[in-house]
Structure 1
C-alpha cells in the first residue's frame, strides 16, 4: 500500500517535471538550447510511460487512470506538437525525438488514455501536420495499439481456457475468441497462427466439450483448423517441388548405383568365367597328362612282356609311324600354303581380267559411238521415198531383169513344182503322225493323272481297321480320276481364255493337260482342285 502511494506520487512529480521542462524548452530558451533541453525531456517522458505501464495504484486506481495518465499524455502530446513546430529548424533531430515521444504514448495507452488522446488539441495539431513521417507515425501508433490490444485479449482468452475449469469462464473465453474472429476476419489467419501450434483445438476438444456450449466449441475448433486455400495450394506446390527435387536426386543416385552394380556384376561375371575356363583347362591338362602317363606306363609294361628280339622291331615300327605322321603333317601344311598362295594369285588374275574386260567393253562402246557419228546417214528403203520417180523405177526393173538373165537358176520350173508337191506330202504325213502322238500323249498323261490321284488317295486313306466299303469302291471306280482329269482340263481352258491376245498367237495357247493350275485359280473359280498333275 505504501509502495503504491509512493509510486503514484513519484509519477505525478515526474509528469509535472516533464511538462515544465517541455514548456521551458519551447517558450523561454533559444532554439539550440531549447532543442537540447527537449532532447533531455524525452527520456524523462519515456521513463514516465514505462513507470505507468508497470504501476499498481491499488485503491487510488481511479485517480491514476482519470487524472494522472491523462495529464502524462497531455504533456507528451504537447511535447510532440512543440517538436512538430520545430521541424523547419532541425528536421532530423526533431523527427527522432518526436518518434520517441510517440513510442512513449504507445506504451502508456489505455481506454481512458485513448479518449484523452483523441480529445486533445495537441493530437489534432499532430494530425494536421504536413510532414509525411509524422502522419505515418500517428497511423502506425493506432495500428500497433489495436494489434497489441487484440493480441493481449487473445492471450488472456487462451490462458483462461488453459488454466480455468469453470464453465462460465470457458463459455466467455470461447465467445470472446469467436467475436474477435468475426470482427477481424481478414486478419484472422495471422492472429490464429500464433495459437495453432499450441494444440488449442485438442485442448478445447478434450477439456471443454460436454459443458453445455458444444456449438461454440465446434465453431472455435473449425475456426482454428481453417486454413486458407492459397496457403494450402502454396504448401502443395512447395511440397511437390521438394518431393520432385528429392525424387530427381534419388533417381540420379539410383541410376549411378545401378550402373555401378551392373559394371561390378559384369566384371565379376567375366572374372568368374575366366576363372572357370582356367580351372577347366587346368583339369583337362591334368587329365590328359594322367592319361598320357598311364598310357606310357601301360606301354612300358607291355614292352617288358615282349621278348628281347621283338622290342627293337616294335620300336622301329613306332619310329616309322611317327615319321609318317610328321611327314603327312608337313605335306598338309605345305599344300595348304601353296593352295592359299595359288588362290590369292587366281583372285588377283581374275580381278585383272575383269578390269581388262571392263576397259575393253568401254573402249568398244566408245569406238562404236564414234563410228556411228562419223558414218553418213543411210537413206530410207521404202518405195515411197523422195526422189523415186517412174524413170527410176523403170531403170531398177531393167537392172533386175539383166541380173536374172546373166545369172539363171539351177532348178527348173518342173523341178520346183515336184519339190513343192513332195513338201506338201511330207507335211501331211507329219501332221497325221502328230495327231497320233497327241492322242498317245493324252492317254499317257491321263494314266499318270490316274496313278497320282490313286497315290494321293492311298496317302490319305484310313487304316485297314476302320476302312469301309465306300472307301474300297473309291479305289475301284475310275470316276474320281476321270473327274480330276476333267477338272484340270476345264481349269486349263479357263486359264487359256484369260490370257492376253499376244499369248494366243502360237500353238501352245492352252496349257498342257498335265499342268497344274495356278494357286489362286481354284479359289477364284470356287472349285476344289484334285491332285494328280505329273511333275
Structure 2
C-alpha cells in the first residue's frame, strides 16, 4: 500500500480535529489545548513541504471547515470559564491570526473580509485588554499585541476598527509605560513589514494614528516612548510624503513641543529631521493656522475631556457593575413579586368560582332531595311557586333599574332647565339695570357751567341771561345797597374776572416759556456731555457747537481770547485784585440773561466775577485771570462728563 502524502495527511488531521471538536464532553480548557496542539502540528507539517502553496491551502481548509470559527468562539469565552489560562489563550490567538494571513476564501471572499476578520479583532482586543491588567502577564500581552499587528499588516482595512475600538482606547489610556511603548512598537513593526500599509489607509485612519503618537509625545516623559514615537512619525512621513503635510498642520505647536520636551534625550538627529518636516510648509500655511487655531484648541480640549471621561469610566466599572447588578436583582425581585401576586389573585378567583359552583351544586342537590320528599300532587304547585318567586325577583330588579334611569334623566333635565332659567333671569336683570341707568341719566338735570367762558354760551344766551339778572335785581331791590353801588360793584367784579382770565393766559405763556428754556438747556447739556475731544473732533461737529446768534458768538470769542491772554500772564500779575463775587454775581446773571434773551445756566461764581470784571475794566482783565476760574472750569467739565480739550 502507498503511504499518504503530506497534503492528504494534513487533511486527515483537520478532519480528525473537526470530529473531536464536535464532541460535547470536552470542556473549554481541553478544547483550547486540543486546538493549540492540532493547529501547531498542521501548520508545522505544511511549512516543511516543498510546495509553497501548501500552507495557504491548509489555512483555507481550516477556514472552510469551521475550525477558525471554533477558535474565535473559544477566545470570546468569559475568563472565568477559561480558569485564567492566559498562556493557552494567547497561543490560540497567535495561531488564529497566523491562520488568517494568506487565506484564499474563494467564493466566501466578502464574508471572510467583512464578517470573520472583524470578529477576530473583536476577540483579540478584549483579550489584550484583560491581559493588560494582569501584572504577571506582560509577555503574554506582548504576544497578543504581536498577533494583532501581524493581522493588521496583512489586512489593512482593519486598522480603522482597531483605532476606534473602546478596548484599544483603554489600552492607550493605561499609565504603564511598557504598554504605551509596546503599542508604538507594534505600529512601527507593521509599517516596516508592509511598506504600503500607510499608503493604503484613509486620511481619517492616518489622523487617528497621528493623534495616538502625538498624545504619547504630549503625555509621556519616557525617552524610549518618545524615541519610538518620533521613529514612527518619520516612517509615516517617508511612506506618505505630501499626504502627511495637511494632517500635520492640524497639530499646532508640535514643533515647539518636540523642541522643548524632547531635546537632549539621545535622538537629536531624528528630532531635528522631524522638526524640519513639520516646519517645511509652515510659511505657506500661516494663514491656515490662524483659521484652524480654535479648531485645534477645541480638539485638544475634547481629547483631554474624553481621556478624563475614559479614565473615570474605567475606574468606575466595578461600581457601575455592582449598581447594574443591584438594579437587575431588584427588578427581577419586583417581577417575581408581581408574578406571585398575580398567581395568588388568580388562585383566589379560582377558589371563589369553585366555591360558588359547589354551593350551587349543593343547593340543587338539596332542592332535588326536597322534591323527592314531596308528594306527587304537590310537586307541580311547588314548581309554579318557585317560578312565581323568580318572576317577582326579576320584575323587581327590572322596575328598580327602570325607575332609577327615569329618575336620573328627570333630575338631569330639571337641573338643566333650572340652570337655563337662572341664566335667562340674569340676562333680563342685566338688561333692565342698563335701561334704568339710561333713564336716570336722561332725567338728571344738566350740570351748571363752572365759568363764563364755557362752550355753548352764545351772544343770544348771554343777552338773555343779562336780562334775567336785571329783572331779578329790579324785582328784589336791596334796602342796604343803592342802585349805583350795585352797578359799580358789578363793574368791579367784571374787571376782576377779566384780570383773572388774563392772568391765567399770561401764566400759561410763562409756563410754556419755562418748559421751552428747560428743554433747550437739557439739549445743550447733553451736547456738552457728548462733545468729543479736540484731537478727534471734525469740522461738522465743531460747527454744531457754534451759536446761531452773531452777537453771542462774538462775545464768546472775545471771552475766550481774554481767558487765553490771562492764562499766559505770570502769577504775580494777578495779586491784589479785589473779590467782587458777592456784589456782582446776581447782577451779572441778570445782565447776561437780558442780553442773551434767556437765563444764563453755565459757569461758576468765579466765572461770573471774571466776566463782570472784563465787562467793566477790559484793559485790566486783559492782563490777568484768577486761578480758581481754571480749577472751577475743570471741575464743572468733570461733573458734566465733558472731556478736557487740549
The TM-score with structure 2 as length reference comes to: 0.24
The TM-score with structure 1 as length reference comes to: 0.28
| Pair member with larger Rg | 1
